[in-house]
Amino acid sequence: VSPYVVVTPNETRRKRLQRIAKKELEDLERWKEEHRPGPIMLVPQRLGGKESEAQARQKQQMMLMQSKYQQKRKREEYVKAKKAAEEAEILKKKAIQREKAERLEVKKRQEEMQRREMFLEAQNYKTNELLNRLDVGLPKSDSCQIANPGPESTAWKRSHAYRQALQEDENRRLEKMKQEQRRKAELMEFKQKQEEEARTRAHKNEQRRVNNAFLDRLQKKTQPNNSNQPAYAG
């Protein structure tokens, strides 16, 4: 066990400190007693407004109903906005898929046109090659042959006219396809505009119906209160 030292308390100092503490407590109690607040004197006055208790309760009930209606309308608007956003997302995805399908269709048509053009070029090449072989096999042209063209020259003219007719037919078909695509795009845009207008009208009609129903309920609740309301004097 470690050694320790016990100090004997100073009784004189302890008593002096106790005396000082007691005197301070007495001074504090005396100061509290001297500075105790007196009674409050107020001028009597009439509180409240010009409305009666029934009118105030009716007004409070109406404000509560309006608050509930506003909360309900906010919830409905939130649900409608969420639904509209989902519909817009669905329409956007559909539009993307439709655009992809249209691009694929255009690509297929372009490939088909390229194949036809390659086929026509090959056909024209073979026709020209055949005509060139026929021209090589013919004798030298003279004044008599120029005046009286042979059957080979007539065949070449027919082939040239046939190629021109094919080219004109292909040009007409391409122009018709372009007009058809333009007409489809205009029809799609008109249909989307009609759907947007229909959604806007439906939203306005629904909002008008909800407002009218709320006003009808409010009028039915306020009419009995107005008929049974006591007269207030003063």
- Whether 40 has a pLDDT exceeding 90, the answer reads no
pLDDT in tens, 183-214: 888 888 888 888 888 888 888 888 888 888 88
Total of domains in the chain:
1
Is 152 a domain residue? no
pLDDT in tens, 127-148: 777 777 766 655 544 444 444 5
Is 218 a domain residue? no
Is 66 a domain residue? yes
In which domain, by residue range, is 70 found? 54-134+157-213
> What is the SS3 string spanning 170-197?
HHHHHHHHHHHHHHHHHHHHHHHHHHHH
Q: What is the pLDDT of residue 228?
A: 52
CA distance 100 to 92: 12
Is 144 a domain residue? no
Q: In angstroms, what CA-CA distances link 185 with 97, 102, 178, 179, 204?
A: 15, 10, 11, 10, 29
Is 170 a domain residue? yes
What is the identity of the amino acid at 229?
A: Q
Is 120 a domain residue? yes
Q: Which string of DSSP letters, residue by residue, matches 31-88? A: HHHHT------------S-SS-HHHHHHHHHHHHHHHHHHHHHHHHHHHHHHHHHHHH
The share of the chain scoring above pLDDT 70, in percent, equals 82
Is 82 a domain residue? yes
